[in-house]
């Protein structure tokens, strides 16, 4: 059977490739969202570390756990 764009094989090939693109795009989006939810990105770990470090600095404690204005440190 001849279709407007070519043979039936071309039409089937188009839909198979189109379906593969849809499945591939879904898999990429799904896995990226899953990785972000589980916090496996190094970027997220770096941000978490910086937030913890900022909380420590806001509390007046240095990175080694000692207070900045401690009289015992003298």
Q: How many domains does the chain have?
A: 2
Are 56 and 45 within one domain?
yes
CA dihedral 8, 10, 12, 15 (to 10 degrees): -140
CA-based nearest residue to 57, from 47, 73, 68? 68
Which residue range forms the structural domain that includes residue 34? 1-39
* pTM across the whole model: 0.41
Are 57 and 29 within one domain?
no
Residue 4 has pLDDT above 80, yes or no: no
Residue 2 has pLDDT above 90, yes or no: no
Are 46 and 34 within one domain?
no
pLDDT tens digits along 17-72: 999 999 999 999 888 877 777 666 555 556 666 677 777 666 665 555 555 555 55
59 and 53 in contact (C-beta within 8 Å)? no
pLDDT score of 45: 59
Are 19 and 52 within one domain?
no
Are 16 and 1 within one domain?
yes
Are 7 and 18 within one domain?
yes
Are 2 and 33 within one domain?
yes
């Amino acid at each position: 059977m001849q279709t407007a764009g070519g043979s039936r094989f071309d039409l089937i090939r188009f839909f198979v490739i189109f379906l593969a693109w849809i499945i591939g795009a879904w898999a990429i989006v799904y896995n990226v969202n899953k990785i972000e939810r589980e916090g496996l990105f190094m970027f997220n770990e770096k941000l978490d570390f910086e937030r913890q470090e900022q909380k420590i600095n806001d509390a007046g404690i240095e990175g080694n756990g000692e207070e900045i204005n401690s009289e015992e440190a003298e």
